[in-house]
Amino acid sequence: MEYPYDELLQLSGIQHFAFCRRQWALIHIEKLWADNYQTADGALMHDKRTIRSSMRAGAIFASCAGSA
Protein backbone atom coordinates (compact mmCIF):
# COMPACT_ATOMS: atom_id res chain seq x y z
CA MET A 1 0.00 0.00 0.00
CA GLU A 2 1.38 3.39 -0.96
CA TYR A 3 0.70 6.61 0.91
CA PRO A 4 0.70 10.14 -0.48
CA TYR A 5 3.87 12.05 0.35
CA ASP A 6 2.04 14.56 2.55
CA GLU A 7 0.74 11.74 4.78
CA LEU A 8 4.19 10.32 5.58
CA LEU A 9 5.66 10.95 9.04
CA GLN A 10 9.03 12.62 9.41
CA LEU A 11 11.50 11.00 11.79
CA SER A 12 11.99 14.36 13.48
CA GLY A 13 8.23 14.53 14.05
CA ILE A 14 8.23 11.12 15.73
CA GLN A 15 11.11 12.25 17.98
CA HIS A 16 9.27 15.48 18.85
CA PHE A 17 6.10 13.52 19.65
CA ALA A 18 8.01 11.13 21.93
CA PHE A 19 9.78 14.02 23.71
CA CYS A 20 6.86 16.44 24.11
CA ARG A 21 3.46 16.20 22.45
CA ARG A 22 2.88 19.93 22.85
CA GLN A 23 6.16 20.73 21.08
CA TRP A 24 5.19 18.30 18.33
CA ALA A 25 1.82 19.99 17.88
CA LEU A 26 3.37 23.46 17.80
CA ILE A 27 5.90 22.43 15.17
CA HIS A 28 4.00 20.00 12.96
CA ILE A 29 0.34 20.98 13.26
CA GLU A 30 0.09 24.61 14.30
CA LYS A 31 3.36 25.66 12.57
CA LEU A 32 4.00 28.07 15.47
CA TRP A 33 7.39 26.91 16.73
CA ALA A 34 10.09 29.57 16.87
CA ASP A 35 13.55 29.24 18.32
CA ASN A 36 14.38 31.27 21.39
CA TYR A 37 17.80 31.99 22.84
CA GLN A 38 17.91 28.59 24.57
CA THR A 39 17.07 26.53 21.48
CA ALA A 40 19.39 28.64 19.31
CA ASP A 41 22.21 28.19 21.85
CA GLY A 42 21.55 24.43 21.94
CA ALA A 43 21.71 24.26 18.15
CA LEU A 44 25.05 26.09 18.14
CA MET A 45 26.49 23.77 20.80
CA HIS A 46 25.27 20.75 18.82
CA ASP A 47 26.84 22.07 15.60
CA LYS A 48 30.18 22.70 17.34
CA ARG A 49 30.22 19.14 18.71
CA THR A 50 29.42 17.74 15.27
CA ILE A 51 32.26 19.73 13.71
CA ARG A 52 34.72 18.64 16.41
CA SER A 53 33.63 15.03 16.05
CA SER A 54 34.02 15.18 12.26
CA MET A 55 37.47 16.72 12.62
CA ARG A 56 38.55 13.91 14.98
CA ALA A 57 37.15 11.28 12.63
CA GLY A 58 39.05 12.88 9.73
CA ALA A 59 42.30 12.90 11.72
CA ILE A 60 41.82 9.25 12.69
CA PHE A 61 41.06 8.33 9.08
CA ALA A 62 44.11 10.25 7.84
CA SER A 63 46.41 8.56 10.36
CA CYS A 64 45.01 5.11 9.48
CA ALA A 65 45.32 5.76 5.75
CA GLY A 66 48.91 6.90 6.20
CA SER A 67 49.92 3.69 7.98
CA ALA A 68 48.69 1.39 5.22
In contact, 16 and 28? CB cutoff 8 Å: yes
In contact, 35 and 43? CB cutoff 8 Å: yes
Contacts within 8 Å (CB) and 24+ apart, 29-34: none
pTM: 0.43
**Predicted local distance difference test score (pLDDT) of residue 18:** 92
The helix/strand/coil state of 14 is helix
Q: Model confidence over 20-63: pLDDT tens digits? A: 899 888 888 888 877 788 888 888 887 777 666 666 656 555 55
